[in-house]
Amino acid sequence: MFSMMNELRKLMEASVTRKIKSIKVDRVDPTEELTVDNPTDLTLIGIGKKSVTFHLDETRIVKIYAKEGRAEEEYNLLHKGAVYGITPKVYLFGPTFLVLESLKTPNLLSYMEMNGLSQEFTSRLLRLLSVSKELGWGSGHAPEDIYVMPDGTLKVVNISDKAVSADYPPKKLLKGLGTWTGVFLQHLEVLNPELHQQWINHPESQKYVTKTSL
């Protein structure tokens, strides 16, 4: 019975892979959005700078890249994060695609709209940023790329490993927090005064950290 189920699963995955490979993603003009030729019944749910995302099933999505090698690059980043439990599961990947866990929980912006931004939650964000910096993801994460799981843990998508200096602030987070930036910095000042001074005085923070947000 187990063998039959295993064979059926293999056949289903092979069918999914064929379907994914039939979708063509390209960028004719470097200044334009990616173009998508989708002969399948998969639903397009997002177009990014490097890839497009489709709904695969109730638990999975697939990201398809215009350039070969991008999928492997992102897989390596996700694999590093998986050790700390901060990235979605990867079920399958090929030269131009990744099949990932579908994160159906609220992202950070939606979570704050419902729950606000407490000092305790800010400490969780700081732990996430600390782990990310340890992994070489120094510029932080945009709020829409941080998901709050049912158990309160945080997972991130759309990771960048662009090299930055050790004192570089989480620019993506500070920019994306918008009106929540002041609350975040107030909590940071209590939790880690030294880091607070380092971030608010860094030139890269000045456009996001104003007098009204301190």
The per-residue pLDDT for 166 is 82
* Residues 36 and 52 sit within 8 Å (Cβ to Cβ): yes
* 88: its two tokens: 């979605």
Domain boundaries, the chain: 9-101, 108-213
* Sheet containing strand 90-93, strands side by side: 43-47, 51-55, 60-65, 97-101, 90-93
How many other β-carbons are positioned within 10 Å of the β-carbon of residue 31?
A: 5
CA distance 6 to 145: 34
pLDDT digits (tens, 9 = 90+) for 152-176: 999 999 998 888 888 899 999 999 9
Would you state the pLDDT for residue 6? 53
Q: What is the pTM of this model?
A: 0.87
Average pLDDT value over all residues in the chain: 89
Query: Would you state the pLDDT for residue 212?
Result: 45
Could you list the pLDDT tens digit for every one of the 214 residues in the chain? Answer: 445 445 445 545 777 888 999 999 998 777 788 999 999 999 999 998 889 999 999 999 999 999 999 999 999 999 999 999 999 999 988 999 999 999 999 999 999 999 999 999 999 999 999 999 999 998 889 999 999 999 999 999 999 888 888 889 999 999 999 999 999 999 999 999 999 999 999 998 888 876 444 5
Q: Are 40 and 23 in contact (CB under 8 A)?
A: yes
Name the residue among 123, 125, 129, 130 with its Cα closest to residue 107. 125
Name the β-bridge partners of 25. Answer: 36
H-run or E-run covering 108:
helix 108-115
Max CA distance (Å), the chain:
67
The pLDDT, as a whole number, for residue 161 is 84
The topology (CATH level 3) of 9-101 is Phosphorylase Kinase; domain 1 (3.30.200)
Nearest-angstrom CA–CA distance, 150 and 129: 20
Cα(65)–Cα(6) distance, integer angstroms: 29
pLDDT score at 16: 83
